[in-house]
Structure 1
């Protein structure tokens, strides 16, 4: 955990002060699919602007369809929602809406996943996608003080060859993204499927992350580490099923980008009270809290923190601090920025003690 010489006395923070502190403390978000932040209202506004017909009669009808039984049932609606994204301004508007919510939740840094294959398959040019998102990132820094970076994700239900084609199409815009990830349907698509693509990305100096251990088994986490050589595991909650893997993750400080509301919405856990985040933290893992696809899963960063801490009374001020500090440690920024954010985290906790 990234700590400072001024780590607070957590025992002096009453339980009643915790909700406000969770909302006020600075934090980084490291697992956000920007297409998954597309709210129904904006979907309908973009559909009207672009003349796209939707299979839902209203915003309310679309929201009513958000009753997912697993990852695939969510993805079906997710891809339908993305169909309204056609022009650079659409991608800008989507990302800007997210950044405004991130600012309100005291997110100081966000590393955004984007899925170019979802768009290039609809003949939307790679340049349109990346330029729209990159422009929003620049404005978020300038106008909101929120720093950010883009991570290009390969869709794992598609082929290795298609991933290579996507990488080649994106490389002319290399200055706009810092790394690559692996998302979409986990079952039946092990990390090894993309070993050569990730090897190429590693040669190019890109940061490497991958979804593993959400619906897939602990073995997928091991493959992401040993075959893809990732620097972060996205989700990773099923590591709890392997004591050996848990020890390895703790010893290496390998970050896990955990998404609590998503895990419940997609039936990884029956309800939040079953979530294993406390066990991951107790074992010393570098776990973080993130929103995943917040428009679909019931909330952005603060909603995830509040729901998690409300359902799991064993989580207190010390764990809140650890999760925020972990998010800075796990981010792909320089040490000076991490130190500055940790100092502001200390200040937020100091204010909670004196309040």
Structure 2
């Protein structure tokens, strides 16, 4: 068994994946055609070829514009979960931005929950939802989204997030929305320090009292903050491929791992970056020269950082331990960076 095969068979979670960014390109163009939406000037070959973060966000807005019917959202998520289950993802927590689409939140939620139930029945994968505030739309829209989530509570919705370009909405603007969500039993995380702003990252931790940091690569530029977050053991949901584009240096993740931060590995945008969880694990393993034991530790960190019930965590941790014990002695290390 080589490292690639070990990773493929390893039970895993994915805590940072955006549903709209998990849409296979052929399905995207089929949905757009059915809805009479033009994706021009993009083609199937170019739609997911972003050159920088701003370009990526512009293309994502185009992707979101193609989705309008409940069946679009149902079909998209069901296919995304099929692909994740094929990579041995046992559990995932998925971001979506209700305000990025024309479909009303209750109808969108129903479609997503239908897909989650169908995927669990067909593939055995469990998924939960994290509606996310688009900080580019302002604090009032963010609060309205949280109120919508509270008004239409569903067991599959476990938290709220905060995303989009961090320079467009500082954490302090969303304190009330996060307090409101927390008061109603929702978990809270935020995209913060994704690019270069250590102050924004610190504010997300201090002002929003988040349980997890989505991305957080700027931490490597602030030794004091790094020390503090290492001691607190707050999880980071890191994503190698998107970090290369957005932050410009995926090596930030290796710095975070070497510093002893509580780092989990996830996909973020599997369609845009032509990736999956196995590839993300492999890229980190090669950069860090990890073997089976270290890779298993990453998988365990993901489970522990998840919002799963404690009994479910224990069961999945036991699976990871059993798999590692059975296979790790047979793993050979090879170079796959160019694969």
When normalised by structure 1's length, the TM-score is 0.88
Pick aligned residue for 1:67 from 34, 50, 53:
50
Unpaired runs of 5+ residues, structure 1, are 1-15
Pick aligned residue for 1:281 from 229, 234, 257:
257
CA contact (8 A) 2:16 2:267 kept: yes
**Residue 300 (str. 1) matches residue 268 (str. 2):** no
3-state SS in 2 of match to 1:151: strand
**Residue 134 (str. 1) matches residue 109 (str. 2):** no
* Structure 1 residues 43 and 278: CA distance shift in structure 2, 3 A: same
Aligned to 1:317: 292
Aligned to 1:33: 18
Aligned to 1:154: 133
When normalised by structure 2's length, the TM-score is 0.92
**Residue 340 (str. 1) matches residue 315 (str. 2):** yes
* Structure 1 residues 150 and 128: CA distance shift in structure 2, 3 A: same
**Residue 259 (str. 1) matches residue 239 (str. 2):** yes
Pick aligned residue for 1:84 from 48, 51, 66:
66
| Two-structure CA RMSD over aligned residues (Å) | 1.6
3-state SS in 1 of match to 2:166: coil
CA distance in 1, matches of 2:200, 2:34: 41
Aligned to 1:206: 186
* Structure 1 residues 180 and 284: CA distance shift in structure 2, 3 A: same
CA contact (8 A) 1:186 1:216 kept: no
Residue-by-residue CA offset, 1:268-313 (whole Å, 9 max, x unaligned) = 31xx5xx133332233221011110110012011111122323x14
Q: Aligned-pair distance for 1:168?
A: 2.3
CA contact (8 A) 1:17 1:352 kept: no
**Residue 52 (str. 1) matches residue 51 (str. 2):** no
Aligned to 2:336: none
Aligned to 1:329: 304
CA distance in 2, matches of 1:127, 1:68: 35
Q: Which runs of 4+ in 1 moved over 6 A?
A: none
* Structure 1 residues 172 and 316: CA distance shift in structure 2, 3 A: same
3-state SS in 2 of match to 1:169: helix
**Residue 94 (str. 1) matches residue 76 (str. 2):** yes
| Aligned positions of 1:154-303 closer than 5 A | 154-175=133-154, 176-269=156-249, 272=250, 275-303=251-279
CA contact (8 A) 1:291 1:300 kept: yes
